[in-house]
Structure 1
């Protein structure tokens, strides 16, 4: 099934264009963003959409160059033993082989020089950092010092994604700041795209109905009539809380079972038989 457009995904189109327009050399420094919200809301989908749209703009606006690397997408790494090296995910994305010290056998992880060389010579304009919430508090200073260095050295924009990303970025930078914050930019915080659960109530259901209608129109089950899924909107919200990841899984898993069993339609009973999209207040979830 196709990706369903949510408010955050719609906003990603605008933000990607803003990042493109702001990614040329600027005296005041590059624009950076955060994508923030609770888990399971589809933040990574939004982050990747920003990257895809940005890369599409580059492809449309600049002469064709098969060696260009306009966007880098990395996951914040875990740091076993407290040894965080942010150059490794960048090196992995770019396909660099990590060398080993012939004496100790340990990996030589300082890949910053080659990374900067590629970013400067291959036209990198945007870096996506996913899973920023995996960083331990003790690692924030090291990680953001590295990000800030790459941003300044290679003149690129960064988008940070993860639960609490906005607070983490602001805290990391505030902790290093020795001068008073710049009051001309309001709170001085990083611009943030919130990715939130979609609400549903008798007085606030239009947005959730729009999302369910998109799923409904994509279903190709033989016994499915247009609007059947919309009639289950309240049930779907009760099962998923309006979180996009479990909502998409619940509908897709149900559709798969409908095909496998020959029912060829999604019903409330079929939804209830799935093991995804269950919340603590759901009567299907036994009390502890």
Structure 2
């Protein structure tokens, strides 16, 4: 208990010093802070000019460095679907289903994964009149750096739960050659903490063979403890399908299931090894945001969402929307690149004193993107 208290104290200090670092999100204290976080824009006095020290306003700069995820219609639909599935699974004694968030890198998959996890936890806590002691509704891990051994995956979960012993000094770190097996304490805590959802990010780090080694354990969590799982990463659906084949749990998509998918208009392939043969796995696909004759609205709505979140003194109306074509050309419609460009342009606008996003700020921000 004393070691755990020291660990939590260190994490709280990390959150205070660098609140936007990703590391704490993979540990319970940091994740709960993320769930509770309410990011509000700095207040601007109406009809006023920037104060003399505005260019060094760390609060305003920090806010614009971390603009919130502006959801697209597709993201909102996926979030609602998965959250509903988690609640539905909680009332089932059998038949839980994994979910997958897939798509090219930079399309906002990780943002969506965390948004789903936060929504699930907030709804569970609202239904139980707040956060209950010794409950852990959501566990958020990343794929281990070395995903070959199952024990490494367990170590990630144990690290999130605070079960792994903290090394006392550098010498103890150097003496560690392999992770200890923390299966029993992890299983005990997940069961008694009423965990409902396990988020697994960066699944593209694992090969199908790596996943085949660990899938039986995830099946155990799902089938015995009733935990819903969401896998996230580029190519996640194909990797998981291949892993099932290697685990001899799935040889091919049945003809009946293939016909059902074809009737629903989803692509399927005759080859069970093809990436399209993932009909038994609910997949949420994220693609780059379009801006063309077929869809001229989605990208502009996202820009309008970012505009509403900006807190600049001289921000012109439709400051981003008027440059929609340029922003799409510079970012390719990739959500991560777009968020970076807008965030960087806003910070540049504060530091330069322009307090507005024009072609000048966009050009400077995209120049940094290409470095």
Band of TM-score, shorter chain: 0.7 to 0.9
Q: Is the 8 A contact 1:249 1:276 kept in 2?
A: no
Alignment counterpart, residue 97 of structure 1, candidates 134, 141, 164: 164
Structure that is richer in helix per residue: 2
* Inter-CA distance 178–128: structure 2 relative to 1 (3 Å threshold): closer
2:85 maps to what in 1?
18
The superposition leaves residues 191-226 of structure 1 with CA deviations (integer Å, 9 ceiling, x where unpaired) of: 011111100124421001100111122223222221
1:177 maps to what in 2?
249
Q: Is the 8 A contact 1:132 1:162 kept in 2?
A: yes
The structural deviation recorded for 1:137 is 3.7
1:34-49 to structure 2, matched below 5 A, reads: 34-49=100-115
1:93-132 to structure 2, matched below 5 A, reads: 93-98=160-165, 106-107=177-178, 109-132=180-203
Size of the aligned set, in residue pairs, is 275
**Which moves more between the two structures, 109-118 or 187-196?**
187-196
The structural deviation recorded for 1:148 is 1.7
2:229 maps to what in 1?
158
Unaligned runs of 5+ in 2: 1-66, 262-278
RMSD: 2.5
The structural deviation recorded for 1:61 is 2.2
1:64-83 to structure 2, matched below 5 A, reads: 64=130, 65-79=132-146, 83=149
TM-score (norm 2): 0.68
Query: 2:241, 2:250 → 1: CA distance?
Result: 14
Q: Is the 8 A contact 2:149 2:210 kept in 1?
A: no
TM-score (norm 1): 0.86
Query: 1:240, 1:180 → 2: CA distance?
Result: 38
Partner SS state of residue 317, structure 2: coil
1:168 maps to what in 2?
239
Q: Is the 8 A contact 2:208 2:242 kept in 1?
A: no
Partner SS state of residue 250, structure 1: helix
The superposition leaves residues 152-179 of structure 1 with CA deviations (integer Å, 9 ceiling, x where unpaired) of: 2322111000001111112211332267
Alignment counterpart, residue 259 of structure 1, candidates 339, 350, 367: 350
2:298 matched to 1:207? yes
Query: 1:32, 1:72 → 2: CA distance?
Result: 15
Unaligned runs of 5+ in 1: 279-284
Partner SS state of residue 73, structure 1: strand
